[in-house]
Amino acid sequence: MEAKKKVEPQYLPPEVYLSLEDIVGKEYITQERAILETYSKFSIDITGYLKKHAKDPSNIPACVVLPSTTEEVQAIVRLANKHKIPFVPFTNGQLGIANYPTKPVPTIFIHFSRMNKILEINTKTMAAKIQPYVDYGQLQADAMKVGLWNGGTPLSTSLCKISSQTALAGLYQTSMKYGTLGKNIISLKMVLPDGEILKTGSSSVDSVDDFWEYAPGPDIYGLFRGCAGTLGIITELTTKLHPWAGEKELPEPPAGRPSIRTYREDKYDHAPPPKLHRLYWVEYNDIDSEIKALREVAHSGIGIGLNAAGIYNTYYCSTTQEQTIKRTKENFFPPYNFYVICTGITSHKQLDYADKVINKIIKETGGTLLSKDHKPEVLKVLATWNLDCIRHVCGYRMSRYSYLDTWFLSGVPAVGKDAQEIWSEAINTIGETYITDRGGVDTTPFLYASDPCGRNFFTEADVYPNPIDPKSLQQAQQLMMFSIGKTIGKKIGPGITAFGASFEPLTSFFPEMGPNVHLFMRKLRKVFDPNGVCSPGRQIFTKEELQAVPPPVIEAINQLRQMNGLDPIDVSKSQ
Amino acid sequence: MEKKFFEKTLEDYKDQVWGCARCNWCQNHWGWNVKSAEYSEICPAFGEFRFFAYSGMGKMHIARALLEGDFDYEDAPELAEIAYLCTTCGACEINCQRLQDKEPLKVTECLRAKLVEDGIGPMPAHKGLINSIKQYDNPWMQPRAKKASWAKKIKLKDASTEEVETLYFVGCTAALDLSLREVPQNTAQIMLKAGVDLGIFGNQEICCGSPVARIGDRKTFVDLANRNLELFNKRGIKEIVTSCAGCYRVLKFDYPEVPGTSKIEYKVYHTVEYLDHLIKQGKLVFTKEIPLVLTWHDPCHLGRHCGIYEQPRNVLSSIPGIKLVEMERIKDQAWCCGGGGGVRTAFIEFAVETAKKRIGEAMKTGAEGIVTCCPFCEQNMSDALAQMNNPLKLYDITELVMRAI
Amino acid sequence: MTLKVQLEKIVGPQNVFDDQATLVKYSKDQSFVSPAKPDFVIFPQSTEEIQEITRLANQTKTPLIPFSSGLNFYGATIPSNSGIIINLSKMDKILSIDEENWFVVVEPGVTYEQLQDELNKNKLRAMIPLGVSPKRTVLSSTLERDPALAAASFEYGNDLMLDTEIILPEGDLFRTGLWASGGRPGSHMGPVRALLYRFFTAAQGTFGIMTKMALQVEYLPELREIFFIPFSSLTDSLEAIKQIQRKEIGLECFLLNRFNLASLFCKDWNIPQEFPTRNVPSEHFKELIDVLPPWVLIICLTGSPRFPEEKISYEKDALMNISSKLNINVFSTIPPLENADEYFSGLLIRPWDILKKFCFKGSVHSLSFKSPLKRVPEFESIIHKASEEHNYSIRHIGGYLLPIERGRAVHLEFDFHCDISNPEEVKQVRDLYFSCSEELIKMGAFFDRPYGDWAEMMYKRTGTYTKKLKELKDEIDPHHIMNPGKLCF
């Protein structure tokens, strides 16, 4: 048999490794090849998958360290600065932000799996102080016991760490009431890229309690939020909690529990919603009526969450690949459907009021409520959401083919139509990679209210290429790039948000953003990361890194620019 | 025709290992059921060692790299240890199946099989176990003659010569571990009292093969499976009861996955399942009160692997006086005792540490005792209790049933 | 070319002032901050002009002080080291009102009164802070994080700002939020995930000049019902506030003391046009302050577009439930006044009447800070103790408590009053004001908007944060031309 080519990581100089060992202890550092492998391919990471196919070692860390305190993190960061060795903070790896440029440089991965404690739940200020490896589900479970909750979980999964969501997207199913995570952080304790410790919010002042989200004067937290771990490492954070109307625990599905023999049965997904919570599913005949209804609900003063999941219900609510494909082919779910989550925080009567309002809106906007009289079989399957709308477990239920990239747009509800237009053009130009590429966002965009009163909605197109097939991966990547390019090029309004445009290599190549976002970001990086060692090349290149971008990459992006009527970027002249 | 599991190799899981979505649910308690931050994790190995490689997802990634030749054994000196520091509790498997339609435990077992085939696995400590099975038909280095000594004072049919309706397949651990002696004794007496026509193979009972199946020695396992099946067929066994969660899983679900096996002719029950039937049929009536607050530990191979959750709870709640209080992680989301998958043999410290975590969880319920029905769990948890100097009582469910009738 | 000529070239000669009268006018406000004159006062009328001014200032190293209404009462626009006041009041257009999606885009000169009038025509309302002047500009007030009167609701607790357009100190045009993608505005989130706009808040113009802002606005309810709960002390009110807020009852919910209430209802006083103003002796005020309850909690239940009565009804039931549990009385007016609800109904939309209190002495010196709800009594007692020590009557302290985000925090304002033509009074109140500030800050009161002398008191307690702010300042404003001398710069 022909020997396959090995992929060799770059290791640290032994003296650096030994110093790291002194910091965290022998048990909590490794450069074992098999372990390193498990830190080298992520979710939502076509680039990483392609690197695997290309036998490119640049995603494989030189070592993984597991610090247990802020002081240990600080010591690691200081050591890395001393030796000018890059480091990357790491929690789940659910969002692959592949390092760039592709030149393999020995990199220290700082995995926070040991910093997983809830340090305090303060019922008076409705706040929780936590370590970086605490996830939404954990926090929610503990908060519910004292009549509070964290206002939702991300639409990917409740396992997301709150720290990494602070550094990234942070959208909830319940953002219509509670906003995004960005609005829910009270303070961060950060180890800055140069090893200094910085606290934000009121806790930045020595004599003050940790209860208020702004520091005196200009708010540095705003810069860290969404910086994807490039401006510092969160070692503690304080997040807001909100009044919770349900019980101390989420309800159990009445069907009991599955075993590894019976997991395929839908009934295990069908728990009732929590006490004092109700879900309404509404169907529409066309997108315009749906959008109108979404806006009316968002403005109606009821509900905590509003979400049109469209075709993605075929994933969330199906337990096997076959079921997913079958339901997609059969249009099992009505294309234009959304749910409203209502709750009775004030009282039970609040729910009765919401019931009246939602029915009136349905009548006004020509929708139909899913009920025992209308598509009960669909309503039954959608019951997955009864608990997922509070604590999202099934967000990664993508079956065999992985969820590998996302293109996000945000704006007023009509942004859904922009998504339709761009995505249709993308699949008509590039071609499909999976069954849901067509008949998905091009027909029925995912739309979820992400801001109080629904001033802002998110819509997205996700791709599910076959991970074994590099051609399929490349095609999916082209679909994403095409959509991002179109969005910027057309200036139709919506922005590309969570992924893509504010990660390199796009930040530097689309100076239209802002404009001048790239210049501002570059200044921030200079201030916080003078040695360029904290997740380098991720959010913004330094000028030197920009010059080093391989010509084929520059060419590809410039083609995309020209396709959209934008002038190509001359890297040598770029500021 | 689809391959049987014991002829599958990593290659058969190629699409799964490439497609691992890294959702991380293999390390965590199914979200809806999480009741506290403290007990929100589910993977004992990740819980202890904190590197991803020890989780189900880790094995998926490692398997992918091995399949593609990204590294070789000489590049990864700790590979065998990583593969064997897994209790095969299947928590990763159930969550991944529910969400991703993928099977990290099967991948782990195929990885182990590959390591065995390539001479990298199993762990040195496992070799004694395998030799013992080969030599004595049990993993405990005990002569065959000892296998029936627990039954000396009980009048039981010899199923190898007499016709019986029900075969009591005791299992090596229950039969040979002196500290567990009461388990088979109680079981047999309860059954007899309920009028079951029960027999045992006695000295002729051979290991079901569970330990070797779990550590990836497929050759030895297939051999044992075939010998057992031959014996069952020869004796016309129609119904089997077993005391051991490991035996139960193997007899029920692994034998049909042995290459060349056609339909399994017998029905197999775990003791608790059988006791539940007897109670429901009115054949077992409790007359004595046992005023205890108890919590139930679901053995992985019985619960999560085979779906036996309600039967032991039914048995306990039909005993007068017993108040059952539940731990946070139960049924399909139960935290493993730490003993399975060859871990107790090769990594006793990790096994006992894992049991200590389970005992800590049991203590939080306020229970006076912890009840289970798997000899392996009982061995492991009693070691942990001893190390912790913990007064919590550990019961096999048959002991309580015996006391109550 | 002189600086004046260069400025005239950019904004036109009619928009450049350097006469003494103008310079003196811009050299002071009603605060204790020492007066200082600028070199010029100019009135740009476009973003492009501001960009050019900024570039010029960088070349000539001239300080720039952004200015809109001049109704900041804390000295934020008094030059620390001469320079050019950029008066943005001529950029006063409401650029768009999105009735469908409830947001507006304003220029820096748009005032609250102007915006509210315009929005009300469209059945919308701006969320306005209590105690701003009708002439205060929406942009600067929002930028300065003045908490809206509806801050008790999570939705309006803070961050009403959506997209912004800023001229950075070196003259680069910069947009945040959705607008940064080049198309339409409408969200604080856009192609960049960082919440960059927050960096420019409470910065007193030290990081750039904001030229446009998109802002959340809200439905103007047709039906509202206002309730009043009197308390004999601030401490007594806290449990009620907590319980009401945890049940999410009402849109607006806040507490005023009798000094503030008496000012509101004083028929002898009007909202002054200038600050400081002339004191207006009033017997009516004295009568009111004698009869009004020490503190009153004001709660406004607001109807939604559909079935407004029913919404108010379930909230009212919940309110009555709490009041009976706590054994407190809920009124539809403030005893002994009649029809306080009608009065407040207007005030909540146009909350400037409280500025009438300037008529008490002419100038108001407010301690404005944040605290956790449970620590309010501590801070109140610090103020009372200091007042006694400085012989200042506790009856003459204005008190305002605003729960934020369902009571996780509160905004507090306690104000002292003096006649600036009376040096003794000024000294007494100034001493009281500073000793209170120092003690409050020492004990953990959080002055998140560190104006004037508070800056030193706060920044000396924030090690790394201050250091990083200074480094950012050096990088973003390398010549330190933007409002130098403010904050820690």
Chains C and A lie in contact, requiring 3 or more CB pairs less than 8 Å apart: yes
Please indicate, yes or no, whether residues C116 and C50 belong to a single structural domain of this protein.
Answer: no
List CB contacts (< 8 A) between B76 and chain A.
32-34
Residue B123 lies in a domain: no
Please indicate, yes or no, whether residues B89 and B138 belong to a single structural domain of this protein.
Answer: no
- Whether C100 sits inside 8 A of A515 (CB atoms) is no
Residue C268 lies in a domain: yes
Which residue of chain B has the CA closest to A29?
B51
Would you place residue C340 in the very low, low, confident or very high pLDDT band (cuts 50, 70, 90)?
very high
Residue B125 lies in a domain: no
- pLDDT tens sequence across C78-133: 999 899 999 999 999 999 999 999 999 999 999 999 999 999 999 999 999 999 99
Using CA of residue A506, residue A507, residue A513, residue A516, what is the dihedral sign? negative
Which residue of chain A has the CA closest to C306?
A357
User: How far is A15 from C235, CA to CA, in rounded Å?
Assistant: 61
Q: Does B79 touch chain A (CB under 8 A)?
A: yes
pLDDT score, position A99: 53
Of C166, C187, C219, the one marking the end of a domain is C219
List CB contacts (< 8 A) between A142 and chain B.
36-37
Q: Does A352 touch chain C (CB under 8 A)?
A: yes
Q: Does C145 touch chain A (CB under 8 A)?
A: yes
Residue whose structure tokens are 């039909």: B318
- Whether B34 sits inside 8 A of A43 (CB atoms) is no
Contacts of A188 (CB under 8 A, 6+ apart): A166, A198, A199, A200, A201, A221, A224, A234, A236, A237, A238
CA C11 to chain centre: 30
Pairing, β B293-296 against β B369-372: parallel
- Whether A242 sits inside 8 A of C196 (CB atoms) is no
Residue B194 lies in a domain: yes
User: Which carries the bigger pLDDT value, residue A311 or residue A497?
Assistant: A311
List CB contacts (< 8 A) between C182 and chain A.
488, 491, 512-513, 515
CB pairs under 8 A between A and C: 318
- Whether B99 sits inside 8 A of A394 (CB atoms) is yes
Which residue of chain A has the CA closest to B333?
A257
Of C40, C72, C87, the one marking the end of a domain is C87
Please indicate, yes or no, whether residues C30 and C155 belong to a single structural domain of this protein.
Answer: no
Say what angle helices B182-193 and B271-280 make with each other, to 10 degrees.
30
Cis before residue B312, ω within 30 degrees of 0? no
**Which has the closest alpha carbon to B245: B354, B89, B27, B122?**
B89
B94 vs A159, A256, A260: nearest CB: A260
User: How far is B22 from B60, CA to CA, in rounded Å?
Assistant: 9
Would you place residue A493 in the very low, low, confident or very high pLDDT band (cuts 50, 70, 90)?
very low
Instruction: Show the DSSP H helices in B68-156 as ranges.
Output: 79-84, 91-100, 104-117, 124-136
Q: Does B312 touch chain A (CB under 8 A)?
A: no
List CB contacts (< 8 A) between A393 and chain B.
25, 30-32, 99
Count other C-beta atoms under 10 Å from residue B395's C-beta: 20
- Give the pLDDT mean for C369-373: 97
Q: Token pair for residue B119?
A: 């001479």
Q: Does A257 touch chain C (CB under 8 A)?
A: no
Residue C147: CATH number of its domain: 3.30.465.10
Tell whether the model's pLDDT for residue A565 goes beyond 90: no
Contacts of A377 (CB under 8 A, 6+ apart): none
Tell whether the model's pLDDT for residue C145 goes beyond 80: yes
Q: Does A87 touch chain B (CB under 8 A)?
A: no
Please indicate, yes or no, whether residues C418 and C274 belong to a single structural domain of this protein.
Answer: yes
Please tell me the pTM assigned to this model.
0.96
Q: Is the ipTM of this complex over 0.90?
A: yes
Residue C209 lies in a domain: yes
Please indicate, yes or no, whether residues B50 and B150 belong to a single structural domain of this protein.
Answer: no
- Give the pLDDT mean for A396-407: 76
User: How far is C159 from A198, CA to CA, in rounded Å?
Assistant: 23
Residues in chain C: 489
Residue B325 lies in a domain: yes
C462 vs A204, A227, A488: nearest CB: A204
Q: How many domains would you assign to chain C?
A: 3
CA distance A402 to chain B (A): 5
- pLDDT > 70: percent of chain A: 95
Please indicate, yes or no, whether residues B32 and B100 belong to a single structural domain of this protein.
Answer: yes
CA distance A192 to chain B (A): 24
pLDDT score, position B172: 95
Please indicate, yes or no, whether residues C43 and C133 belong to a single structural domain of this protein.
Answer: no
Please indicate, yes or no, whether residues B190 and B262 belong to a single structural domain of this protein.
Answer: yes
Q: Given a contact as 3+ CB pairs under 8 Å, which chains touch B?
A: A
Contacts of A190 (CB under 8 A, 6+ apart): A197, A198, A199, A200, A224, A231, A232, A233, A234, A235
CA distance A117 to chain C (A): 22
- pLDDT tens sequence across C246-303: 999 999 999 999 999 999 999 999 999 999 999 999 999 999 999 999 999 999 999 9
pLDDT score, position C45: 97
**Which has the closest alpha carbon to A487: C187, C180, C177?**
C180
Please indicate, yes or no, whether residues B343 and B375 belong to a single structural domain of this protein.
Answer: yes
Q: Does B65 touch chain A (CB under 8 A)?
A: yes
CA distance A204 to chain C (A): 6
Would you place residue C184 in the very low, low, confident or very high pLDDT band (cuts 50, 70, 90)?
confident
Q: For residue B321, what are the domain limits?
A: 285-404
Q: Give the sheet arrangement for strand C209-216, strand by strand.
A: C94-98, C103-106, C209-216, C161-167, C173-176
Please indicate, yes or no, whether residues C49 and C125 belong to a single structural domain of this protein.
Answer: no
Residue C25 lies in a domain: yes
Say what angle helices B104-117 and B56-67 make with each other, to 10 degrees.
50
Please indicate, yes or no, whether residues B26 and B159 belong to a single structural domain of this protein.
Answer: no
* Residues paired with residue B295 on neighbouring β-strands, in sequence order: B370
Tell whether the model's pLDDT for residue A204 goes beyond 90: yes
* Reduced 3-state DSSP string for chain C: CCHHHHHHHHHCHHHEECCHHHHHHCCCCCCCCCCCCCCEEECCCCHHHHHHHHHHHHHHCCCEEEECCCCCCCCCCCCCCCCEEEECCCCCCEEEEECCCCEEEECCCCEHHHHHHHHHHCCEECCCECCCCCCCEHHHHHHCCCCECCCCCHHHCCCCEEEEEEECCCCCEEEEHHHHHCCCCCCCCCCCCCCHHHHHCCCCCCCCEEEEEEEECEECCCCEEEEEEEECCHHHHHHHHHHHHHCCCCCEEEEEEHHHHHHHHCCCCCCCCCCCCCCCCCHHHHHHHHHCCCEEEEEEEECCCCCHHHHHHHHHHHHHHHHHHHCCCCECCCCCCCCHHHHHHHHCCCCCHHHHHHHHHCEEEEEEEEECHHHHHHHHHHHHHHHHHCCCCHHHCEEEEEEECCCCEEEEEEEEEECCCCHHHHHHHHHHHHHHHHHHHHHCCECCCCCHHHHHHHHCCCHHHHHHHHHHHHHHCCCCCECCCCCCC
- Whether A516 sits inside 8 A of C168 (CB atoms) is yes
Of B253, B276, B299, the one marking the end of a domain is B276
Residue C484 lies in a domain: no
Which amino acid would we find at residue A537?
G
Q: For residue C197, what are the domain limits?
A: 94-219
List CB contacts (< 8 A) between C186 and chain A.
411-412, 455-456
Which residue of chain B has the CA closest to A384?
B32
CA distance C251 to chain A (A): 11
Q: How many domains would you assign to chain B?
A: 3
List CB contacts (< 8 A) between C324 and chain A.
none
Please indicate, yes or no, whether residues B159 and B272 belong to a single structural domain of this protein.
Answer: yes
- Whether A218 sits inside 8 A of C206 (CB atoms) is yes
Residue C245: CATH number of its domain: 3.40.462.10
Of B246, B276, B306, the one marking the end of a domain is B276
CA distance C351 to chain A (A): 23
CB–CB of C197/C203 below 8 Å? no
H-run or E-run covering A19: helix A14-24
Identify from C96, C192, C470 which residue to disrupt to test chain A contact, counting A C-beta atoms within 10 A and taking the largest count. Answer: C192
Please indicate, yes or no, whether residues C72 and C27 belong to a single structural domain of this protein.
Answer: yes
Tell whether the model's pLDDT for residue A97 goes beyond 70: no
Question: Would you call A297 helix, strand, or coil by DSSP?
Answer: helix
Q: Token pair for residue B249?
A: 């899983």
* Residues paired with residue A409 on neighbouring β-strands, in sequence order: A459, A496
pLDDT score, position A500: 46
Residue C14: CATH number of its domain: 3.30.43.10
Question: Would you call A405 helix, strand, or coil by DSSP?
Answer: strand
Q: Does A198 touch chain B (CB under 8 A)?
A: no
B50 vs A5, A113, A396: nearest CB: A113
Of B58, B87, B117, the one marking the end of a domain is B117
Residue B93 lies in a domain: yes
- Whether B22 sits inside 8 A of A64 (CB atoms) is no
CA distance A206 to chain C (A): 5
User: Which carries the bigger pLDDT value, residue A146 or residue A224?
Assistant: A146
Chains C and B lie in contact, requiring 3 or more CB pairs less than 8 Å apart: no
Q: Could you please report the per-residue DSSP string of B202-247?
A: GGG----SHHHHHHT-HHHHHHHHHHHHHHHHHTT--EEEES-HHH
- Mean residue pLDDT of chain A comes to 90
User: How far is A259 from A409, CA to CA, in rounded Å?
Assistant: 39
Q: Does B152 touch chain A (CB under 8 A)?
A: no
List CB contacts (< 8 A) between C407 and chain A.
126
CB–CB of C104/C115 below 8 Å? yes
Longest dimension (CA), chain A: 72
H-run or E-run covering A190: strand A185-191
Please indicate, yes or no, whether residues C152 and C278 belong to a single structural domain of this protein.
Answer: no
Residue B180 lies in a domain: yes
Residue B322: CATH number of its domain: 3.40.50.1860
User: Which carries the bigger pLDDT value, residue C283 or residue C463?
Assistant: C283
- Give the pLDDT mean for A381-410: 86
- Whether A157 sits inside 8 A of B71 (CB atoms) is no
Please indicate, yes or no, whether residues C237 and C384 belong to a single structural domain of this protein.
Answer: yes
pLDDT score, position A2: 58
Q: Given a contact as 3+ CB pairs under 8 Å, which chains touch A?
A: B, C
Residues in chain B: 405
User: How far is C247 from A348, CA to CA, in rounded Å?
Assistant: 11
**Which has the closest alpha carbon to A419: A552, A291, A330?**
A291
Please indicate, yes or no, whether residues B215 and B351 belong to a single structural domain of this protein.
Answer: no
| Positions in chain B short of pLDDT 70 | none
Give the phi and the psi of residue C402 in degrees, each rounded to 5: -125, 110
Please indicate, yes or no, whether residues B364 and B235 belong to a single structural domain of this protein.
Answer: no
Residue B289 lies in a domain: yes
Tell whether the model's pLDDT for residue A499 goes beyond 50: no
CA distance A277 to chain C (A): 15
Please indicate, yes or no, whether residues C317 and C408 belong to a single structural domain of this protein.
Answer: yes
Query: Mean pLDDT lowest for which of A100-109, A539-548, C5-14, C93-102?
Result: A100-109
Give the phi and the psi of residue A70 in degrees, each rounded to 5: -60, -40
Which residue of chain A has the CA closest to C215?
A455
H-run or E-run covering A451: none
Please indicate, yes or no, whether residues C214 and C247 belong to a single structural domain of this protein.
Answer: no
- Whether A402 sits inside 8 A of B253 (CB atoms) is no
- Give the pLDDT mean for A87-112: 79
pLDDT score, position A96: 66
- pLDDT tens sequence across A420-458: 999 999 999 999 888 878 888 888 888 999 888 888 898
List CB contacts (< 8 A) between B332 and chain A.
257-259
Cis before residue A465, ω within 30 degrees of 0? no
Q: Does C193 touch chain A (CB under 8 A)?
A: yes
Give the phi and the psi of residue C18 in degrees, each rounded to 5: -140, 20
Residue B127 lies in a domain: no
Of C87, C119, C154, the one marking the end of a domain is C87
CA distance C355 to chain A (A): 25
Q: Which residues in chain A (510-539) have CB-CB distances under 8 A to chain C? A: 512-517, 519-521, 523-524, 526-528
